[in-house]
Structure 1
Amino acid sequence: MPKTSKQDAAETVEIVGYEGHLQELGGYTVAFETYTEDADLAPLFAGLPDDRCQCVHLGYVLSGSVKFTFTDGHEEVYVAGDAYHAPPGHTPTLYAGTELVEFSPTEALQQTLEVVGRNSEAATPTSG
């Protein structure tokens, strides 16, 4: 059976307020996430349907908290000890000091991360 850990994960992703260590496991990606500062990531999902994440996530909050805002406007806050299911149609708000583990279908996650990556690059000022 395949396995991974935060230290052994194949990919590292860093954007404002977020550090993730990701590994694909049989059609799903496990992400060990740490939130390094408070950040509303909604602008990074621009260009996806409804400008929201279209990937489902199952997660467990190890410490801190994370908030998801859904298409219908309702919000859910998950805190340390909570397991959660975030269906498509959400945007996350990160809070510094949060750590969690999240599982997502790899193909949908990759499609989402392509858009988030482009938006993150466009929003990052370049030095010159």
Structure 2
Amino acid sequence: MTAATRTDAPVALEGDGVEVRTMPIGGDMSVSYISLPRGTDMGPALKGMPDDACQCPHWGYLLKGRIRMSTPAGEEEYKAGQAYYWAPGHVPVALEDSEFVEFSPTEDFKQVIEHVVAQSG
């Protein structure tokens, strides 16, 4: 498939107001529709990954909210209306209810989702 809406993408991760819908969109890339409620800190869910951080690169657009991203170089803040690239080695925290659409290498993101699901189970 080369196009997908939010409702086309199956839920890969859900709980405590967090929702991640993702599906392959062509080649080795996937599209994800992500909702994080204010206060969501992905740090605990990423514990045990290299550097306790997400190691998958993401390209995306923040539709709503604000995200603080912790990286090896320090912290950066992103807000609605911004396109972004998040390099491997990041940990997001939702400063406001946030929604974003992002594109990631399918296999890399699958490993992150599997790790997060295992942490919550």
For the criterion TM > 0.5, the same-fold answer is yes
Distance change in 2, residues 1:17/1:10 (3 Å): closer
Identity, % of aligned positions: 38
Aligned to 1:19: 19
The residue type paired with residue 21 of structure 2 is: H
Report if aligned partners of 2:12, 2:113 keep a CA contact under 8 Å in 1: no
Aligned residue type for 1:39 = T
| Aligned equivalents of 1:12, 1:111: Cα separation in 2 | 12
Count of aligned pairs = 120
Aligned residue in 2 for 1:36: 37
| 8 Å Cα contact 1:17-1:96 kept in structure 2 | no
Distance 2:40 2:116 in 1: 14
> For residues 1-128 of structure 1, what are the structure 2 equivalents within 5 Å?
2-26=2-26, 27-72=28-73, 74-121=74-121
> How much has 1:11 moved relative to structure 2?
3.4
TM-score (norm 2): 0.90
Letter in 2 for 1:64: G
CA distance in 2 between partners of 1:44 and 1:108 (Å): 16
Q: Check whether the contact 1:56–1:104 (CA below 8 A) recurs between aligned residues.
A: yes
The answer to whether the Cα contact below 8 Å between 1:67 and 1:94 also exists between their aligned partners in 2 is yes
Q: Which runs of 5+ in 1 are unaligned?
A: 122-128
Q: CA RMSD in A?
A: 1.5
TM-score relative to the length of structure 1: 0.85
